[in-house]
A and B are shown apart, each in its own frame.
Chain A
Amino acid sequence: MPDSTTTPTNQPPIAVDDVAVRFAGDSGDGMQLAGGQFTATTALVGNDFATFPDYPAEIRAPRGTTFGVSGFQVHFSSNTIHTPGDVVDVLVAMNPAAFKTNIADVRPGGIVLADEDEFGKVGLKKAGYEPDVNPLDDEDLQRRYRIVPVPLSRIVREELADDDHGAKEVMRCRNIFALGLVCWLYDRPLEPTIDHLNETFGVKKGRQDIADLNIRALRAGWNFGETAELVGERYTVAPADLKPGTYRRISGNEAMVLGLTAAARKANKPMVYASYPITPASDVLHGMSGMKRFDVTTFQAEDEIAAVCAAIGASFAGSIGVTGTSGPGLALKGEAMGLAVMLELPLVILDVQRGGPATGMPTKPEQADLLQAMFGRSGEAPVIVLAAASPSDCFDTAIEAVRLATRHMCPVIVLSDAAIANGAEPWKLPDLEAIEPIEITHPTEPNDGEVFHPYMRDEHTGGRPWAIPGTPGLEHRVGGLEKEAVTGNVCYDGENHEAMVHARQAKIMAAQAVIPPIEVGGDTTSDTLILGWGGSRGAILEAADQLSAAGTPVAHAHLRHLNPFPADLGDVLARFDRVIVPETNSGQLRFLLRATYLCDAIGVNVMRGRSFQVQELVEGITRAMEGKS
């Protein structure tokens, strides 16, 4: 319900199914906060949703410039949705730069709410427009979109002016005004935001006056929508038909933190999370540092290498060692990961992928580290590789990573990406009781008469005993030099080395025994399989739906396990005449499929610093099915 102090609007809102709103402004304009709060409200209304925060790598680029624009997109629907949306129905443009960089993503006929007060000569010039040509007056654009100039800055300045707050504090409420206006437009209640403002500013920061100022801005935004009649109608989006249960909003990095913590508890083990700050993985370090009460120790190391080494040291001493990073950090950790392969200790390495190579595009997603995860070490150094498919899927993937790492005594790389790490979706709370405990045993007795052999393997898992310092009688040495089978003594014998290479590979393959078979969805009788991995699942599902609706039904499947592949992958591939592999890289999974199964998969590959758009995927798949590329 709208806030009670506003007059109810006369017109009933028009019901629509599916809306995408993008808040765009300067990186200092609070767009992430406005978008996040709009999402929270939308969640409470019961819509399905997906979000996409898009922010620049620079913390505060010069104000008003195009490279300082920060955006937050919310896609919400009365249906089930999986992506933040290709195009937006409403763009909030807080300045000309935001207008310029985002207008192309607005669907024809879409609404553009622009702060007209920012479109003066100075603002236009900073954004790279001719100072005399205001794009809000451009007739071409006006024909294409419903451009609504809003005197946003002026109203905020005038309505909020009081003796206690300076112009700066007042103008900082512009984002909340915009939020109020969009809440009016989509018939969202203001209460959740009011509660949030009271909590963050009033309770936590002791600044109730700032909370009140923002609440006034919020109401002013709502009232403006109601009285100005600039837009004319309003809309509403009915609750989605989600599975019954308790839901929360979750981002990928949050889910990763919860998953790792839950895994530690399910294993009944302390965890050491060692990391070095890197975009877009730092939030996992921040999150883990708040998990100390669950026996989680965090270590902000001096560099990426120290982080992985400390995690390995922690595992050697009996904790679950985890390190988190992004692509460049994974490269730095390569040698130490090779050591973990040799030591045969559990280790989880999280890689929140971003555009590369080198520093690349630190805040933009890309699925380009798959081959690095597979092969980025010296020698024959196989590890388990998993990938999360959506923000909430990070929870399950993290638990699985800890389970497999401790079961097979090996490193497990978990691939996420910048889009699912920062994007959010509704998450039906898991039944924690239903999550199987992670069984870990540390030997306390010798395993061969009087003698302890640290490299005697378990015949099922291929893993070796995890004897930890502090255990009398099991003193042993591990190291990076090649091991003699069973005894673990240093050994340079060629035949032993070959046997050990096979043994390290075999225990990775042994994980197939606990990897579930592939679920093929869509039209399983189709001759075409769309096979994806990682964060592109949502876009693939929607594209497959659209293709079916358009009379081209396809089958689809998604891989969480990239190494080893599920045991039935070869059979599944063989069932289809055509296998299409969409990836936001130049074809890395396709490369592996060809190498492993001689499967002549066709790629749909986009590397534009964002996740797949559904439409380009539909077109790409269609082209692939027609034999064009």
Chain B
Amino acid sequence: MTTLKAKDYTTDQDVRWCPGCGDYAVLAAVRKALPVIGGAKENQVFVSGIGCAARFPYYMETYGMHSIHGRAPAFATGIKLANPQLDVWLVSGDGDLLSIGGNHTMHAMRRNVGIRILLLNNRIYGLTKGQYSPTSEVGKITKSTPMGSIDEPVMPLALALAAECSFVARCLDIDAKPLGAIMERAAGHAGTAFVEVLQDCNIFNHQAWFHASQKDTRPANTLQLVHGDPMIFGVDSERCIIRSQDGLGVANVADVDAADIVVHDETNRTQAFELATMRYPDFPEPLGVLYVNADRPMYEAACEDQVARAKADRPADLQALVHGPETWQVT
């Protein structure tokens, strides 16, 4: 078999995102990552809802479905129920998956359907031209909030963990390599894998993530999580995460015992939840894999198993079924 390249995943459709949109970087990273991950193109399905990010499937030379607003997890679930062997990727935005589709996102996660979700979070409604989104910060001035948003934003990672999501990770749109690595792990995960991608909408919410994405801001304001490593960040690795009575806190490495620096354990759900609720500017933005639980049964596998057991239990005798328990003869 010939090895695939990024261009093999490229369709003949013109990509219609605004120039400079963070979605381009994600698309390029995904096209690059898939050949590395491997698997047959014909078994891959990209599903999306509605929004800028949701145009994604049109640009991937795989099977794809651009569905309706918010419902992509439900379509993806149906696809997996029909054919658990398919490799289903769901790419959509924060409005799609957390607002109109919050319900479906939550239920796919708690069922542990084997789908990989890339949530491109730009903290704004792009396609409808700039209203605040469920992840916009309080006070956000937009077309629909001239006096500032009064809605408390959703924390996507915390929501995923609360919904029992079994793989939770986070990445920047421009980080092609780390995104590829996370996708590789997500692809190998049996269950719902959720990746929040911090994405720049350079038209309506440019710089929303600049505190974390720029060369000069990044070291001080992001925490790169590595399983088994102490949580240290900063320009000179001078800052760290410690545990106090009130939970996690930020300290100077110089001021604490090395043993007091919290070590990242991606199997620790409670700690993952603490990381998921850290908020900038009090805390750095955590990046990397927050949580993995490889032990949860996969939904479609459990479904298949019941069908198999039912088949083993009784023959599929249609005549007997139609006949039913009680009949009588008319002569």
Complex interface: chain A residues within 8 A of B85 (CB): 470
A309 touches B74 (CB 8 A): yes
Complex interface: chain A residues within 8 A of B318 (CB): 261-262, 265, 294, 432
Of B104, B322, B324, B328, which one neighbours A430 at CB under 8 angstroms?
Answer: B322
The answer to the question of B206 belonging to the interface, with a C-beta cut-off of 8 Å to chain A, is no
Of B47, B66, B316, which one neighbours A294 at CB under 8 angstroms?
Answer: B316
Kindly provide the distance from the CB of B206 to the nearest chain A CB, expressed in whole angstroms.
27
A306 touches B63 (CB 8 A): no
B328 touches A46 (CB 8 A): yes
A294 to B74, CA, bound (A): 24
Complex interface: chain B residues within 8 A of A339 (CB): 67-68
Of A258, A429, A470, A490, which one neighbours B86 at CB under 8 angstroms?
Answer: A470
Complex interface: chain A residues within 8 A of B324 (CB): 248-250
A475 to B57, CA, bound (A): 11
A317 touches B322 (CB 8 A): no
Kindly provide the distance from the CB of B12 to the nearest chain A CB, expressed in whole angstroms.
8
Given the interface contacts A40-B326, A244-B331, A248-B327, does A310 sit within 8 Å of B13 by beta carbon? no
Of B11, B58, B60, which one neighbours A479 at CB under 8 angstroms?
Answer: B58
A262 touches B78 (CB 8 A): no
A477 to B50, CA, bound (A): 15
The answer to the question of B64 belonging to the interface, with a C-beta cut-off of 8 Å to chain A, is yes
A307 to B77, CA, bound (A): 10
- For A308, the closest partner residue in chain B by CB is B74
A478 touches B42 (CB 8 A): no
Within 8 A of A (CB), among B43-89: 43-47, 50, 57-58, 60-68, 71, 73-83, 85-86
Complex interface: chain A residues within 8 A of B82 (CB): 270, 272, 297, 313-319, 321
Kindly provide the distance from the CB of A74 to the nearest chain B CB, expressed in whole angstroms.
16
The answer to the question of B217 belonging to the interface, with a C-beta cut-off of 8 Å to chain A, is no
A242 to B329, CA, bound (A): 10
Complex interface: chain A residues within 8 A of B13 (CB): 489-490
A321 touches B64 (CB 8 A): no
A292 touches B311 (CB 8 A): yes
* Highest count of chain B CB atoms <10 Å: which of A316, A317, A336, A468: A317
Within 8 A of B (CB), among A499-542: none
The answer to the question of B319 belonging to the interface, with a C-beta cut-off of 8 Å to chain A, is yes
Contact with A along B94-119 (1 / 0, CB 8 A): 00000000011011000000000000
B311 touches A293 (CB 8 A): yes
Kindly provide the distance from the CB of B26 to the nearest chain A CB, expressed in whole angstroms.
17
Of A239, A293, A303, A480, which one neighbours B68 at CB under 8 angstroms?
Answer: A480
A296 to B303, CA, bound (A): 10
Contact with A along B199-222 (1 / 0, CB 8 A): 000000000000000000000000
Complex interface: chain A residues within 8 A of B155 (CB): none
Complex interface: chain B residues within 8 A of A476 (CB): 63-64
A246 touches B83 (CB 8 A): no
A301 to B113, CA, bound (A): 13
* Highest count of chain B CB atoms <10 Å: which of A295, A309, A428: A309
Complex interface: chain B residues within 8 A of A40 (CB): 326
A477 to B81, CA, bound (A): 20
Given the interface contacts A293-B316, A306-B71, A489-B13, does A317 sit within 8 Å of B326 by beta carbon? no
A272 touches B67 (CB 8 A): no
Within 8 A of B (CB), among A221-253: 239, 242-250
Kindly provide the distance from the CB of A399 to the nearest chain B CB, expressed in whole angstroms.
12
Kindly provide the distance from the CB of B79 to the nearest chain A CB, expressed in whole angstroms.
4
A293 touches B57 (CB 8 A): no
Of A44, A243, A306, which one neighbours B74 at CB under 8 angstroms?
Answer: A306
A249 to B326, CA, bound (A): 8
The answer to the question of A181 belonging to the interface, with a C-beta cut-off of 8 Å to chain B, is no
Given the interface contacts A261-B321, A336-B71, A479-B67, does A272 sit within 8 Å of B327 by beta carbon? no
Kindly provide the distance from the CB of A274 to the nearest chain B CB, expressed in whole angstroms.
7
Contact with B along A450-478 (1 / 0, CB 8 A): 00000000000000000011111111111
Chain A at the B interface: mostly helix, strand, loop or mixed?
mixed
The answer to the question of A312 belonging to the interface, with a C-beta cut-off of 8 Å to chain B, is yes
A8 to B15, CA, bound (A): 88
Complex interface: chain B residues within 8 A of A299 (CB): 77-78, 81, 303
Kindly provide the distance from the CB of B189 to the nearest chain A CB, expressed in whole angstroms.
20
> In the complex, how many residues of chain B place their beta carbon closer than 8 angstroms to a beta carbon of chain A?
62
The answer to the question of A410 belonging to the interface, with a C-beta cut-off of 8 Å to chain B, is no
A247 touches B45 (CB 8 A): no
Kindly provide the distance from the CB of A78 to the nearest chain B CB, expressed in whole angstroms.
13
Kindly provide the distance from the CB of A77 to the nearest chain B CB, expressed in whole angstroms.
14
- For B75, the closest partner residue in chain A by CB is A313
Kindly provide the distance from the CB of A580 to the nearest chain B CB, expressed in whole angstroms.
34
Complex interface: chain B residues within 8 A of A249 (CB): 324, 326
- For B312, the closest partner residue in chain A by CB is A293
Complex interface: chain A residues within 8 A of B73 (CB): 306
A469 touches B328 (CB 8 A): no
Complex interface: chain B residues within 8 A of A248 (CB): 323-324, 326-328
Complex interface: chain A residues within 8 A of B309 (CB): 292
A469 touches B83 (CB 8 A): yes
The answer to the question of B294 belonging to the interface, with a C-beta cut-off of 8 Å to chain A, is no
Kindly provide the distance from the CB of B105 to the nearest chain A CB, expressed in whole angstroms.
10
Kindly provide the distance from the CB of A384 to the nearest chain B CB, expressed in whole angstroms.
21
Complex interface: chain B residues within 8 A of A303 (CB): 103
Kindly provide the distance from the CB of B116 to the nearest chain A CB, expressed in whole angstroms.
15
* Highest count of chain B CB atoms <10 Å: which of A247, A249, A293, A481: A293
B43 touches A469 (CB 8 A): yes
The answer to the question of B41 belonging to the interface, with a C-beta cut-off of 8 Å to chain A, is yes
Of B66, B67, B310, which one neighbours A293 at CB under 8 angstroms?
Answer: B310
B58 touches A247 (CB 8 A): no
A300 to B246, CA, bound (A): 41
The answer to the question of B144 belonging to the interface, with a C-beta cut-off of 8 Å to chain A, is no
The answer to the question of B235 belonging to the interface, with a C-beta cut-off of 8 Å to chain A, is no
- For A336, the closest partner residue in chain B by CB is B68
Complex interface: chain A residues within 8 A of B46 (CB): 477
A477 touches B58 (CB 8 A): yes
Kindly provide the distance from the CB of B50 to the nearest chain A CB, expressed in whole angstroms.
8
Of B47, B61, B77, B316, which one neighbours A475 at CB under 8 angstroms?
Answer: B61
A193 to B81, CA, bound (A): 41
- For B311, the closest partner residue in chain A by CB is A293
The answer to the question of A302 belonging to the interface, with a C-beta cut-off of 8 Å to chain B, is yes
The answer to the question of A20 belonging to the interface, with a C-beta cut-off of 8 Å to chain B, is no
The answer to the question of A409 belonging to the interface, with a C-beta cut-off of 8 Å to chain B, is no
A472 to B331, CA, bound (A): 56
Complex interface: chain A residues within 8 A of B64 (CB): 475-479
A307 to B103, CA, bound (A): 13
Complex interface: chain B residues within 8 A of A309 (CB): 67-68, 71, 74-75, 78, 104
A479 touches B65 (CB 8 A): yes
Complex interface: chain A residues within 8 A of B146 (CB): none
A335 to B313, CA, bound (A): 39
Complex interface: chain B residues within 8 A of A265 (CB): 316, 318
A274 to B81, CA, bound (A): 10
- For B14, the closest partner residue in chain A by CB is A490
Complex interface: chain A residues within 8 A of B259 (CB): none
Complex interface: chain B residues within 8 A of A307 (CB): 74
A244 to B107, CA, bound (A): 51
The answer to the question of A343 belonging to the interface, with a C-beta cut-off of 8 Å to chain B, is yes
A293 touches B314 (CB 8 A): yes
A269 to B27, CA, bound (A): 35
A314 touches B58 (CB 8 A): no
Residues of B in contact with A (beta carbons under 8 Å apart): 11, 13, 40-47, 50, 57-58, 60-68, 71, 73-83, 85-86, 103-104, 106-107, 303, 306-307, 309-311, 313-316, 318-319, 321-324, 326-331
Can you pick out 25 interface pairs between chain A and chain B where the beta carbons lie within 8 Å of each other?
A: A245-B329, A246-B328, A247-B330, A248-B326, A261-B321, A292-B311, A293-B307, A293-B314, A297-B82, A301-B74, A305-B74, A306-B77, A309-B104, A310-B78, A312-B67, A313-B47, A316-B82, A432-B318, A469-B42, A470-B86, A473-B42, A475-B41, A475-B61, A477-B60, A489-B13
Additional pairs, 14, CB under 8 Å, beyond known A302-B106, A481-B66 = A293-B314, A294-B316, A297-B81, A302-B103, A309-B104, A310-B78, A313-B75, A321-B82, A335-B68, A343-B65, A432-B319, A469-B45, A470-B43, A477-B57
